[in-house]
Amino acid sequence: MGKWRYTVALPFLISLSGCIEINTYVSPAASGTVIDATTKKPIQGATISVGDHPGLFAQTNSDGQFILVPTTRTTHIFWLAPYSSLPPGGTIVVFADGYASREIVVNGAEQLLVSLVRVR
């Protein structure tokens, strides 16, 4: 007799909780400055791309600064508890015309100072 009450009560309780939105990160977040290794001057127009996702990239401004915003995936579920995810680590590739490219491993959102060596 008591089992049918749970069968009726559970869907009712879930409907009261509403739809929960889950955001999970699928690419790393990073920000920082790209400079010339010799002159220590900022490099404008350098490209910072995500190693596993070549379509995700950022470019440096006139001060050599960049912000790589993490990409998220949103899922809607019915659940009673909220869920959050931190930006994952990953590999970014930094390159600019006339400079050797560099691969850097990042762990979440961190401030980077990337120096590139000029190729002759």
Domain with 33 in it:
26-72+84-116
Q: Name the nearest CA neighbour of 105 among 30, 21, 5.
A: 30
pTM confidence score? 0.68
Q: Is the pLDDT of residue 45 over 90?
A: yes
Q: What is the CATH number of the domain that holds 31?
A: 2.60.40.1120
Please check whether residue 32 lies inside any domain of the structure: yes
Please check whether residue 3 lies inside any domain of the structure: no
Please check whether residue 66 lies inside any domain of the structure: yes
Tally of domains in the chain: 1
Please check whether residue 17 lies inside any domain of the structure: no
Phi/psi at 62 (nearest 5 deg)?
A: -65, -20
Q: From CA 61, how far away is CA 59, in angstroms rounded? A: 7
Residue-wise pLDDT tens digits, 91-107: 889 999 999 999 988 87
